[in-house]
Structures are given as C-alpha cells and as structure tokens.
Amino acid sequence: MTDPILPGATLGVLGGGQLGRMFSLAARRMGYRVHVFVPQADSPAGQVSDHEERAAYDNLDALRHFAAGVDVVTFEFENVPAETAAAIADVVPVRPSGSLLHTTQHRRREKEALAAAGVPTVRFARVESEQDLAAGLERVGAPAVLKTAAWGYDGKGQERIEQPEDGLAAWDAIGRAPAVLEAFASFEREISVVGARGLDGSVALYDPFENLHANHILDVSLSPARVDPRTAERAHEIARTLLSTWSVVGVFCFEFFDLGDGELVVNEIAPRPHNSGHLTIEGNHCSQFEQQVRAVCGLPLGSTERLAPAAMANLLGELWADGAPDWAAACAVPGVHLHLYGKDEPRPGRKMGHVTAVAPTLDAAREHAERARAAVTRPAGTRPIVSAAPPA
C-alpha cells in the first residue's frame, strides 16, 4: 500500500474557484501547503493558497513545472482537457484519475458509464446529427431536455423540448453542438450523495442532501434530505457501487432525481466536492473538503456523521444589484455562517458565496439560512457608499 502524503507536503489543485478555495482552507488547517493552477490572477483559491501558478490548462510545459513542485494533484474544476491530467500524471499522482475526469466531463460518456455499471438514468439518446435528433425524439419522447454533451454546468447549454416539432429549434439554440437528449423526469425531489473512497478502498458516504433549484441553479440545500430510509439506502447503494466500480480515489457527488416509491435515477455526477455538500463544513464532523484532502493524501477517511440539521443558501451575483449587500444583517441571524468566495465581479447567476445555518430542526435551519440571505438586500436609501477604487 502506498504511503500516505502527510501534513507538510504540498498539494496541487487544478482550478481556482470556490471549491479549490474551501479545499485549500481545509488543507492548510491540517498543515499542508497548497499550490493552485489557474488561468486567471487573484482566483478565489489562489487568494488562500501558498502559490498560484497562472497559465492556460493546455500549457503542458507549465503543467509539468507545476506538477514537479507538488506531491499530488487533485482538481476542483473538471472542464480541463484530458491531456492536462495526462501530462501531470507523468510526474505525480492525479486523484481522482484523469480517466474519471474524462468520463464525467462529458454527459454522454457519463451516461454510458452509468449504464455499463447497471445504474439507472433517465432515458437518453446521443444527438450528433439531425437524424440522431429525430430518432432520439422517437425513442425518448417529449417532453425532453436537450443538453450539450460537454462543458455544461448550472443549466447552461440546456433546452427544454415540449413537443417533437420543437426539437430542431432546441438544437439550433445550443449551437448544434454534440448533445444528449434526455426524457424529462417528473421527480418528487432532487437529492445528492457526497461520498469519498480512500486509497485503501474504504468508502464514506454523507446522508443524502435535498436540493432545491431556481433557474437550473442550486438555490438551497437541506441536510438531511426529507426522504424515507429506503430511498436514502438506495442512494447510498448506488454511490457505493459507483465509487468502488470506478476505483475512485477522492470525493464524488452523485445527483439523483427521486421519482418516488424508492425509485432513483442518477442525473449527474461531479468528480469532486459539490455545492450541495458545502453545508458539511458546519453540519458534519468532517467536511467534504477535509474528506477530499484525506482521500487524495491516502489518510483514513473522516466521519461523515451529522452534527445537526443544516441548510445552505447560495448567494448569487443578483444580490449585488442594488449595491453592496449588508453582511452584518446576515450574521445577526442565529446559527448562520457566512462564506464569501473573494470574487470581485458579481454577475447575475454567478456563485459569489453561501450561507449555512445549523439549528435543532431542519425547518429552523432552512428558515434561518433563507432569512439571512434575504436580510442582506438593503432597503433603498439605506445603502452605504462603497468606493470603487482603492484608497490612494
């Protein structure tokens, strides 16, 4: 068995967003150094890391140089070319492996891998030509959702098709890119399971979270999900099967549609910690980010036990529409923890931060998280003047 990578070592992260930021905070607390590889300067992860290496993901020389300075590489952003992970793997271990990155960054490959593992998904068809589209609509039926096969996230590159005649217009709307046509699922709720598998093959799963979306973007997550034990057990069974079948080393998130009566289909997989697991920072013994550190370093996995019911509400760029949000008002709500990602451009739909509330009951946690988020929007006329330029 490979020796664990112990505190004092240097961990490399591909990607500089909020997931890398929270990974870095967990790793540095444990005594690791963190180097981040990211194309843009002053990234959310770079701000809290020991070193930010700035280069494009296809700059193989820069990647090899980066890899030579770290003991292991993980990623927080899966939309990097397969060659990127391969170039790094020549120098240091990449965990999870580049082949899993390759599978999960592409909806068709991911769905085919799920089918091969015997895991249920919605009916789907690949669409790469007008003939495929017509045949797919015949097989999948309507309503359906057409999604670009690659580079999609947060509902981007998705078009709903109400009736077969709308198919071509939907494909035009996503630029006739290679796509996956999915049957529209009328689910009772959406849940996710975040799970880790260690180097020794051990598996640790968090209880399912319940996810509420607005405009295809995660809005609120609840822990635990309001599902019966049979459904939670089934979600765990699927997560465990996939982690083991794919020999994952790292943290994955499995997103499900709960169709009722214990029937689940997998919607999507993230080969990394997930927005729905942010509430593990305060709500569980070991957060999903510490778990990622432990898994990729070959340490024993941490306890996923829940400390208290928790709710997370995302803070999107819209909250800045009327000026600087009132963070003090959010902090005044009991049991609320504020997380801001250090991004300076609050565009609509952009994830700028989140609030998590822990409380004795799930209803109270949700109410507190949503109240804290609502409180940051100041009534007109009471906004502070925030200088755009730093003081001279």
Closest separation between CB of residue 3 and ligand AMP, Å?
Answer: 38
Closest separation between CB of residue 120 and ligand AMP, Å?
Answer: 13
Question: Counting contacts by CB under 6 A, is residue 110 touching ligand AMP?
Answer: no
Question: Counting contacts by CB under 6 A, is residue 155 touching ligand AMP?
Answer: yes
Task: Indicate the residue among 152 and 195 with the shorter CB distance to ligand AMP.
Answer: 152
Question: Counting contacts by CB under 6 A, is residue 49 touching ligand AMP?
Answer: no
Among 105, 223, 267, 292, binds ligand AMP (CB under 6 A): 267
Task: Indicate the residue among 198 and 208 with the shorter CB distance to ligand AMP.
Answer: 208
Please report, as residue ranges, which positions from 220 to 249 form the binding site for ligand AMP (by CB under 6 A): none
Q: Cα(11)–Cα(174) distance, rounded to whole angstroms?
A: 37
CB burial of residue 167 (10 Å; 0-12, 13-18, 19+): buried
Contacts of 97 (CB under 8 A, 6+ apart): 85, 89, 247, 249
Closest separation between CB of residue 312 and ligand AMP, Å?
Answer: 15
For ligand AMP, which stretch binds (CB under 6 A), given 6-14, 31-39, 179-187, 281-289? 179-187
Among 29, 216, 226, 285, binds ligand AMP (CB under 6 A): 216
Closest separation between CB of residue 88 and ligand AMP, Å?
Answer: 27
Q: Cα(208)–Cα(379) distance, rounded to whole angstroms?
A: 37
Closest separation between CB of residue 254 and ligand AMP, Å?
Answer: 12
Q: Cα(114)–Cα(111) distance, rounded to whole angstroms?
A: 5
Question: Counting contacts by CB under 6 A, is residue 52 touching ligand AMP?
Answer: no
For ligand AMP, which stretch binds (CB under 6 A), given 181-189, 194-202, 241-249, 323-331? 181-189
DSSP-derived 3-state class of residue 320: helix
Helix crossing, 288-297 with 18-29: angle to 10°?
A: 70
Task: Indicate the residue among 86 and 185 with the shorter CB distance to ligand AMP.
Answer: 185
DSSP assignments along 106-155, one per residue: BHHHHHHHHHHTT-----EEEESSHHHHHHHHHHH-SSEEEEESBS--TT
Task: Indicate the residue among 72 and 113 with the shorter CB distance to ligand AMP.
Answer: 113
Question: Counting contacts by CB under 6 A, is residue 190 touching ligand AMP?
Answer: yes
Please give the DSSP secondary-structure letter assigned to residue 284: B
Q: Cα(164)–Cα(36) distance, rounded to whole angstroms?
A: 46
Using only the alpha carbons of the chain, give its radius of gyration.
Answer: 21
* Contact flags string 80-109 toward ligand AMP, x per CB under 6 A: ------------------------------
For the chain, strand residue ranges (E) read 10-14, 33-38, 51-54, 72-75, 124-127, 144-148, 158-161, 179-183, 189-197, 203-205, 209-214, 217-223, 250-260, 263-270, 310-316, 336-340, 351-358
Among 182, 207, 210, 326, binds ligand AMP (CB under 6 A): 182
Please give the DSSP secondary-structure letter assigned to residue 9: B
Question: Counting contacts by CB under 6 A, is residue 145 touching ligand AMP?
Answer: yes
Question: Counting contacts by CB under 6 A, is residue 120 touching ligand AMP?
Answer: no
For 90, phi then psi, to 5°, come to -70, -20
DSSP assignments along 178-195, one per residue: SEEEEEPP--SEEEEEEE
Q: Cα(274)–Cα(255) distance, rounded to whole angstroms?
A: 10
Among 185, 203, 259, 338, binds ligand AMP (CB under 6 A): 185
Among 207, 268, 282, 290, binds ligand AMP (CB under 6 A): 268
Closest separation between CB of residue 124 and ligand AMP, Å?
Answer: 8
Which has the closest alpha carbon to 363: 191, 223, 188?
223
For ligand AMP, which stretch binds (CB under 6 A), given 59-67, 182-190, 241-249, 330-338? 182-190
Number of residues forming the site for ligand AMP (CB under 6 A): 12
Paired tokens of 156:
């981007």
Q: Cα(324)–Cα(338) distance, rounded to whole angstroms?
A: 15
For ligand AMP, which stretch binds (CB under 6 A), given 59-67, 69-77, 177-185, 334-342? 177-185
Closest separation between CB of residue 275 and ligand AMP, Å?
Answer: 11
Question: Counting contacts by CB under 6 A, is residue 184 touching ligand AMP?
Answer: yes
Report the interface residues with ligand AMP, using CB under 6 A. 122, 145, 152, 155, 182, 184-185, 190, 213, 216, 267-268
